[in-house]
Structure 1
Amino acid sequence: MRNSNLKSVLAVLFLFLFATCQDKTILSEKESELYTIKKFGIDDFQNEKTLSGKKLNIPQLLYPDLVLALEDYLVISETEDDTLFHIINKSNYKHIRKTGKSGIAPNELKSASSLFKTVRKNQFWGYSLSGKTLAKYNAIDTFANSIEVIKPKNDEMYLASTLVPSAKNSFLSTRNNGDEKFVEFRFDGQILNIFGNWQDMLNMKDVPSNVISSLLQGKLVVNDAKTHFAFACLDADIIEILDKTTGKTISVRGPVHHVPKFTVDYGAGYAMCALDFDDVIYKYIDATIFNNKIYAGFSGHSFETIDINKEDKFVEQIFIFDLDGNPLIRYNLNYSIKHFTVDEDRIYAITYDENPGLVVFDL
């Protein structure tokens, strides 16, 4: 019995040491004048609060996915409909209209993978990752099509992956290929700025840059002033905070300090990142910046729990950081969610359950 217990303890100790060594081996800890690393644990948050949300009954929401708070409205995207967006009145949560025809015509968007506010009141951008297309909409307009569309102008723009507006006529993106981590484009295709590179992220040789960017894929968000950007990684618990005015990046790492095992697979004829799904733990599912605070939805659930066992668990915690990467508040939620947006005194989220809908958390 003692030998059995000792073996169990040693096995757990070995796995812990292996994971620790693996993380130190995989992630580079190289710092520079433009790149700083900050590590944190779950106990480093200054405050912890429990939020009890209220789930709303809005019958028009069949397959809600993304949610964005505008000045007077909420925009909620659909995943399986010929119209992309629902417009909800923020004051009474009444459904106003549907807008944004789904399609491939010049003023249409096939699907929406991200939503962003514009500089004008009650207008928003929808971004289609598959179509590499930005389309602008007016929440108060009964016209179903977009009022402006931005498509890639050259090969460089086709390499853009996740993106956010960075000024009136430009956007910042991560790259599908190439070593540049963040690239700022004008809408006409001209490159304005390049920040960081993927090769500096790993302490490993001969790993192609596109494999590293795939390993560290995530959600890119921006503050209203378009000065600070946060890139929250899905499979590694890393948030990269870029100050565009100085070119400096703070890499916030934690709280579990885990990067999944992976191999470089050439089976398709080119290098691809092949994750060991037995070792995948989802980290930052969604993020936003509001009032110069970074809100990051942390999962901590495994690929097996979510994708294989189909349990109703995804994000039950939202972490708050300042723009210097310091942990401030940890919110514990009574609903599991998948996407969220933040307003002055509320968090609006889409639930992750058998009947997904809109839930409102008062702050």
Structure 2
Amino acid sequence: MGQLSHAELIDKKFVLFAEGCFGLFTSKIAASLIRYNGDRCVAVIDSRKAGKTVQDVLGYGGAIPIVGRVEHALHLHPEVMIIGKGLHSAELPSGWKPHLLAAVQNGLHLINSIHYRLNDDPDIAHAVREKGVTIWETKDSPAVPLNRARVLDLDTWVIHTCGSDSNIGKKTAALEIWNEANRRGIRTGFAATGQSGMLISGHGVAVDGVPGDFMGGAVEQAVLEAAAGNDWVVVEGQGSLNHIGFSGVALAILHGSLPHALVFCHRLGAERTKVWETPIIPIPELIRMNEELTVFERPAKVAAISVNSFGFTEEEYRREAEKLEANTGLPVVDPVREGSAARLVDILRAHQAETEDRAAARLR
């Protein structure tokens, strides 16, 4: 059997593997794929939540069942198993290999979202060869040049979603802007910089799998590809400049994408970064940090703040949003709560017109 392309893999019915971790914030790849590609998901594997539905756990996604083993989903005819959680290590978690082997032995292709290379595991690699299935290692680094600032030559307007932490809604904000802008007839490309965005859009790069010197060039290439034939490009953010683990990736995306505008993302109520538990410095300071680290050839400003207000009542959300608006002088929007990124797109269009007018005035 010939190896399938990435485009062919993401077009097939899939089962999500999220053993022991399925949840909105504990398996963000799985949660994202269900939100945007849920029509192709037949089941989720998590023995701790088996018997429930995706709707029960996430609050969206409908009646997609959660099962304990891949064998329990075979009657739903999946063709691919996707690892639905990224990891902060390069190890294969204890207990995962039997599930992965069972998927391969039942003829399922694998999409690997973690740094551990499944092709390097002798048992999995042997089973893959025997069954003739495909493994897509999303963390494999593409061959890319150093960043050459070729984005500056584009006519396309570039928007980048940065933020205060990892796993707070940068990808969701970018995807919602992308969807809404295209719905309005603004030809907009999406530059994915992580595995979830790649699996949803079908292209891009997992920047955290690229050697340091080449991260900016990998982002530049993703933006150039997303810009073809489009008026806007929305660049998905990763990590944050204040994050002790992921600041390098955040800066590489900022400098590789050379955005015209920033959308700052934050989870309402968060005071410390996830996992590392370092204090999140005041949002106005983080906004200023991102603006000051854009390059002098194209200084960019934050046009709006996109928040994740999951768990807040409507009254609580309004109160906290108004407080954040007062502290920053910027509009605050939760595109998921509001059902679309309509307000964000309005704000970005106005910001584009304003910045272009200022640029034209400088040339006169």
Calculate the TM-score normalised by the size of structure 1: 0.28
Between the two structures, name the one with larger relative contact order (CA 8 Å, sep ≥ 6): 1
Point out the structure with the larger helix share: 2
Point out the structure with the larger strand share: 1
